Homo-oligomer: A and B are copies of this chain.
Amino acid sequence: MSVPGRRIRLDLAYDGTDFAGWQVQPGQRTVQGTVEEALSRLGGGVAIAARGAGRTDAGVHARQQVADAWIASRLDDDGLIAALAAIFPPDLRPRAVRTVPADFHARKAAVSKTYRYRLDRSRCGDPLRSRYALHHPYPIDRGAVDEALRWVAGRKDFAGFAGSASVVKTTVRTLSEARYEEAEHDEGVFTFTADGFLNHMVRNLVGTLLEVGRGRFSKARIAEILDSRDRTRAGPTAPAHGLCLDRIIYRGKLLSWPATEGP
């Protein structure tokens, strides 16, 4: 008797340090490749494709990444998460598994994604945060950064902040949240929420905002980059390890977070 197939939504967290990013690449250790291999084992050995909500770069972390896949397995959702927890390596963990409508698509169904970029502003660096925050022991003019953030918020053409590899229909995105906050232990955090992000967009925004914060770029520079759509006018791409895909929101009660998540 064959097992009927179903579509599952899989919520994941990973430490991106030792992954060559989300997307499968031949000969590389990728998150998507690791997920697909595990699902294929549980699905009777047939090749299974996992579609991710966002393609995180090499070295970028995720507190909540979402993928969907079609799988034929006798295990229910709870059995699947337990099996995935056993198969996955320590730097990739399942957070939830749930059966979703057959037409669910992790990327297309996402209403918004939130990325956070963390700074360690201590003078000599905090060894307990070095994997997850950029060491940036320089002054940050909060007034200038806040003003620059107000410029990028809203529906804008972000071509000037897109990586060169981008092949997309439109470079217009709606940034519903763009803020910078400081917390204890010399922590600084940028938060960006949007309906979608272009390749390297957050890292290019952060690299530019840090130049504004140090006074090396004027506040107006952000507007110039947006208007000119000229990537060469933006700041350097901030390093990957400070970036984390923190949260993805879906429409509808059934798809809200968390569902089968423990403890």
Interface set of A (CB-CB < 8 Å, partner B): 13-15, 61, 63, 81, 84-85, 90-95, 121-128, 130-132, 137-139, 185-186, 244, 261-263
With CB as the reference atom, state the residue of chain B lying closest to A86: B124
- With beta carbons under 8 angstroms apart, the residue of B61, B94, B138, B186 that contacts A128 is B61
Copies in the complex: 2
Contact B128 A263 (CB under 8 A): no
- With beta carbons under 8 angstroms apart, the residue of B61, B93, B124, B125 that contacts A124 is B93
Contact A128 B13 (CB under 8 A): yes
Interface of A is mostly: loop
Q: Give bound CA distance, A128 to B14, whole Å.
A: 7
Contact A263 B127 (CB under 8 A): no
Q: Give bound CA distance, A63 to B137, whole Å.
A: 17
Residues of B within 8 A of A137 (CB): 262-263
Contact B15 A123 (CB under 8 A): no
Contact B124 A63 (CB under 8 A): no
| Known A-B contacts A137-B262, A137-B263, A263-B137; A132 and B123 likewise in contact (beta carbons under 8 Å) | no
What's the nearest-Cβ distance from chain B to residue A184, in Å? Answer: 11
Contact A128 B262 (CB under 8 A): no
Residues of B within 8 A of A14 (CB): 127
Residues of B within 8 A of A122 (CB): 93, 95, 261-263
